[in-house]
A and B are shown apart, each in its own frame.
Chain A
Amino acid sequence: NAGVTQTPKFRILKIGQSMTLQCTQDMNHNYMYWYRQDPGMGLKLIYYSVGAGITDKGEVPNGYNVSRSTTEDFPLRLELAAPSQTSVYFCASSPTGGSSYEQYFGPGTRLTVT
């Protein structure tokens, strides 16, 4: 199993550009999450999904969109990138959101908006 994979690993965007961060998991997990982590800070939840076709907002959803058409994939879309979106983005998955709280994280995407 590859676990959770994310692409790209690094990206530099100009202000106003758009991009999609890809996330795929091969563990057949129902729950998937997108976090951002600013330097020296904890993780903040952007969006999450409890299964294919179902998504919901986290703490900091503004400026982002997600979709979940399959169990495996959970892409994060940035529209009209802003410098405030410079961060490291982590995708994670877990079997459930209830009794099992172990989240498996991808390696992250380091995004700079200039």
Chain B
Amino acid sequence: GQSLEQPSEVTAVEGAIVQINCTYQTSGFYGLSWYQQHDGGAPTFLSYNALDGLEETGRFSSFLSRSDSYGYLLLQELQMKDSASYFCAGMNRDDKIIFGKGTRLHILP
């Protein structure tokens, strides 16, 4: 089967750094995406890793290791507005995207 596993919740302090992990059990996934979703809102795209390594976009970075079937999203200089759910998603070779169940990020002042 195809699935992506993420922690259900993570808590961090404003101004700190937090890492949200995503592991996947499948064959044929290529690329890992990350989406942010605020309560009551729609998912918005954050980043995509096609190759192994780190991709940086401002305060957010994403990492992929295809040999380990593992990726993470790193959020730096946390702000209260970063409180949201974060989803990893993989695209399989049939062009179908599979989403993880999401990680709820709580930020403490």
Interface residue ranges, A against B (CB under 8 Å): 31, 33, 35, 40-45, 48, 50, 58-59, 90, 92, 97-98, 101-108
Contact A42/B100 with A90-B43, A101-B31, A105-B43 known, Cβ cut-off 8 Å: yes
Closest to B40 in A: A108
Closest to B31 in A: A101
Interface residue ranges, B against A (CB under 8 Å): 31, 33, 35, 41-45, 48, 50, 87, 91, 95-102
Residue in A40, A42, A48, A102 whose beta carbon sits within 8 Å of that of B48 in the complex: A102
The distance from the CB of B47 to the nearest CB of chain A, in whole angstroms, is: 9
Residue in B48, B98, B102 whose beta carbon sits within 8 Å of that of A41 in the complex: B102
The distance from the CB of B64 to the nearest CB of chain A, in whole angstroms, is: 12
Contact A101/B95 with A42-B102, A106-B42 known, Cβ cut-off 8 Å: no
